[in-house]
Chain A
């Protein structure tokens, strides 16, 4: 039996024919990167290849690295293996990686979602033989509602808090979710304040996407200035001394995990908005159908359950262990987020 085009080894997803890794979790010579989140673009590779929009983001996170940018659909060849990036719709710059060798096509999704969020280039299905997919929310309990409805809820929540003289604190991952929240906040309600991690990341992205004005919270920001306004903060800020000076405030988290009542209660957050940058259950099934792939490999999320269901549907489906975390970073407090920023 010939070696598969992509294999999963201790360093990451490896293409032996080209001698490159996709989103490796250990330092390697050459890495092709789907997007800028810390579990996909890690420190220590000698060379990074990624979509152009990711270049400033990854440089911001990892400092002075050797990185080259490509555009969507542009092909490049390494040892006769052809690679190209295709929109994944997860966050700005997020890409699926298409790998073609001797007529066989594999696609690795990284993280993705089907809904057009108005910031990232919308997901495009890519025909392939083998589809390596995430399944962070691969359970029928997850069903997203259109983001327009979620943002209408978020803005009503903000307005109601303002009417009560309270500061609204909204948690979202500093790369991706924070900008998606920012983009759709109704600035007629009040002003938007940000945590440093979010302000810095947003400034990196501002040249590519327009966002409402934000004010960085500094030592001089008083609770009177914040009152009635909204603060966007990373999840790890919850319960910190930084946030305590905002009293009276109300907290909310925007994440796919907020589907579960328990997840919100466990973190002692007042309000949960179900908003995710990953596929919901139906989204995953639709994406798989559209690729036409016979073989499906699930990398992170409820992989065993999802693969079992796919096998019942007639796919050749299996699970591979990786070190990707999906939206976990948004559910549980992760320090990494702050350390790199």
Chain B
């Protein structure tokens, strides 16, 4: 544990990516193999299940620190991270321990089965013999989340540096399901012909947003244009008579979408399709809000299946006849995909004429000028898309977010002026600063403010500091970490999509709301109304 805690301390002592990579690489060169595997697992979000719930954790930590629970809670709201709070309030360590990271993780996994008294004893005993950073790491492992400013990409880069293995290949090896408890460093990383590639998805290729003029991309005929669908990015894998569906978050979601299980019968073995899972009924694509009802469910009821069926909007083919074809040009992969689409029983290149097979083709469009592309983009909202994807025809399918060949050109967001009503302290690098805001709009009578969205991003650090100072001076009431503030500040809120919703107090759900700018020139009387917001909902009949 000392070595791992030292690594985290080193990573914490710099803001420079290269130094972080060096520190990690050096760790990967020197740490015991089992610790390495666990470190890779932790930094790629494969953590053991939480053995102690946070209520017990807080209660026991406050006992250890000899402070009342409410004072612990207040400290937690301000520190903004539970593990950090526990590490800070715990008394200085009395002893020390040489237990390894692997040992600790094995104990934490075993702890889940123990009774509360045993859990408490284990927690307190270990907190007493760990130094500050070890306490922090230990508690982080118990609380589950391990976001410490090191991305999976950065970790993979360091691993590539330490092992001299190609970074993209490593990214592929680390995809999918593997168990840090049983897999060896050799099998996971070093083995050249890893046998268990059966269920593994390929790393997703991600697009960059167009920043400047779209015409800077050059000749329009070099590019293939399609709509940017607003669902769940997914890979559908058919291998050895089995189907695996992976979301972009590397979650295996096969069981959540039973509609697709019939594809095993239809698609040939050795096929991997990249596409978007979209809600689709009565010949129309639904909103992301419709899809929300499917995302959270582990098991899907018949009623839900009937109410919100989904399809896969296919846009790329990554594996064909058992061969990885990612290095062939997009136009060729696309040709194979269209061929495949035909054999599934679709007669035409027309995604709306399916025979109940939940596989549709994302239409590729070709234009003769960027003006035509821009014109198509304006139709995005009515087609339930977020904008356009612009893909270079001869591009390979790359790993992760890479500039150059895939671009997203989203529609301009919808915007509305809203009043700041509540604020909450942020987490991580925004801890101890009020950065999480709730916004409200006027009701029809313009007499009351109705909450409509929360937003956490969009201001600069300087603006956040200013608003934070204002909030501290203009607090009306405190509810734990939340403060209600005098309605006085107006912000322009941008969002991507909008739909009616029964789950929201305002009756309206907005997609990805964020702060566009602080309207210091506006008084609250000039903020918009809920009716203004409702008027932005696209009419149901298209």
Contact = CB atoms under 8 A, between A and B. Distances in A.
A270 B84 contact: no
Given A259-B88, A262-B81, A312-B68, A140 B430 contact: no
A271 B75 contact: no
Given A141-B75, A141-B78, A141-B79, A262 B88 contact: no
Given A140-B67, A141-B89, A260-B84, A266 B78 contact: no
Interface in A301-315: 302, 304-305, 308-309, 312
The 7 tightest CB contacts between A and B, nearest first, are A262-B431, A265-B429, A141-B88, A266-B429, A262-B429, A141-B75, A305-B74
Given A141-B89, A262-B427, 4 more contacts: A140-B65, A262-B81, A262-B430, A270-B15
B430 A139 contact: no
Contacts of B427: 262
A269 B15 CA distance: 7
A318 B454 CA distance: 34
A139 B14 contact: no
Interface string A132-175: 00000001111100000000000000000000000000000000
Contact of B85 (A141, A266, A312): A141
Nearest to B431: A262
B145 interface: no
12 contacts: A140-B67, A140-B72, A140-B88, A141-B75, A260-B80, A262-B79, A262-B430, A262-B432, A263-B431, A269-B15, A270-B16, A312-B68
Interface in B60-83: 65, 67-68, 70-72, 74-75, 78-81
Contacts of B92: 143
A302 B78 contact: yes
A341 interface: no
A261 interface: yes
Interface in A253-293: 257, 259-263, 265-266, 268-271
Contacts of A259: 88
A224 interface: no
Contacts of B16: 270
Interface of A: 139-143, 250, 257, 259-263, 265-266, 268-271, 302, 304-305, 308-309, 312, 332-333
A269 B16 CA distance: 10
Contacts of B75: 139-141
Interface in B1-59: 12-16
Nearest to B462: A333
B84 A261 contact: yes
A154 B92 CA distance: 21
Given A262-B80, A266-B461, A332-B465, A140 B71 contact: yes
Contacts of B423: none
Contacts of B426: 262
B65 A265 contact: no
Nearest to A257: B432
Contacts of A271: 13-14
A283 B478 CA distance: 27
Contacts of A309: 68, 71
A313 to B, nearest CB: 10
A308 B427 CA distance: 25
Contacts of A266: 429-430, 433, 461
A304 B478 CA distance: 11
A309 B69 CA distance: 11
Interface string B307-338: 00000000000000000000000000000000
A309 B81 CA distance: 22
A261 B12 contact: yes
B459 to A, nearest CB: 13
A139 B478 CA distance: 17
Contacts of B74: 139, 302, 305
Contacts of B67: 140
Given A139-B74, A268-B15, A260 B68 contact: no
B428 interface: yes
B478 to A, nearest CB: 8
Contacts of B65: 140
A259 B72 CA distance: 16
Contacts of A269: 15
B345 interface: no
Nearest to B136: A261
A39 B84 CA distance: 31
B149 interface: yes
Contacts of B429: 262, 265-266
Nearest to A250: B14
Contacts of A263: 431-432
Contacts of B430: 262, 266
A260 B15 contact: no
B78 A262 contact: no
Contacts of A142: 88
Nearest to A304: B478
A257 B478 CA distance: 23
Contacts of A257: 432
A312 B67 CA distance: 11
Interface string B99-115: 00000000000000000
Contacts of A332: 465
A309 B66 CA distance: 13
Interface in B200-247: none
